[in-house]
Chains A and B, each alone.
Chain A
Amino acid sequence: DQQVKQNSPSLSVQEGRISILNCDYTNSMFDYFLWYKKYPAEGPTFLISISSIKDKNEDGRFTVFLNKSAKHLSLHIVPSQPGDSAVYFCAAPPVGGADGLTFGKGTHLIIQP
């Protein structure tokens, strides 16, 4: 059973516009979420995180929104740039003090010039 879901395998956005990547989760006990960006043949790079006590966290062009009642989070990138083309993973640490990350399947973001 997948606890972190990214239902869009790919997303194409024009350069300069807003990219919105979505993530849903099933475990209401998750209290922290992370977004990672991954280029081909490289390891994931941490982008931004959000704690469940917040509903928004912003870092430069990246903003993550959390809707706990809907068990949904989204990553907004504005303005989108060609270098943003990558696979984006939503992830959550397990509950109860365990370790490791559970990743969604990822969304391949393609920025069109």
Chain B
Amino acid sequence: DTEVTQTPKHLVMGMTNKKSLKCEQHMGHRAMYWYKQKAKKPPELMFVYSYEKLSINESVPSRFSPECPNSSLLNLHLHALQPEDSALYLCASSERSGDNTEAFFGQGTRLTVV
């Protein structure tokens, strides 16, 4: 199983809503990531979890709150988002943090904030 599964695939939310994005992998990977991708732009790193601990937070606004309940799951909690937060949110995992191994990406959640 070389899959990273993200749910939901599409999400439309109002600026006052609270929602969560979910990511799951069963490859035994110990590093998991959230990236944000706007149209016609490359993916941009948001958060890195290594061994279930947050190791990198790339100055992301607090309206995005990551959570790693266990080594297979990664959540991104969303609250009071702005329309400019609309983007494709990608989850990825790799074997170990800080190692030269490829990252496997999920299909992404297409988020629209209205």
Are A and B associated in one complex? yes
How many positions in chain B have a CB within 8 Å of any CB in the partner chain?
29
A25 within 8 A of B: no
Task: Name the distance in Å between A75's Cβ and chain B's nearest Cβ.
Answer: 15
List the count of A-B residue pairs having beta carbons below 8 Å apart: 60
Interface code A40-70, partner B: CB below 8 Å = 1, 0 otherwise? 0111111001010000000000000000000
Most central of B45, B106, B110 by chain A CB within 10 Å:
B45
How many positions in chain A have a CB within 8 Å of any CB in the partner chain?
24
Query: A residues near B, CB below 8 A?
Result: 31-32, 34, 36, 41-46, 49, 51, 89, 93, 97-106
Query: B residues near A, CB below 8 A?
Result: 4, 6, 31, 33, 41-45, 48, 50, 55-56, 58, 88, 90-92, 97-98, 100, 102-108, 110
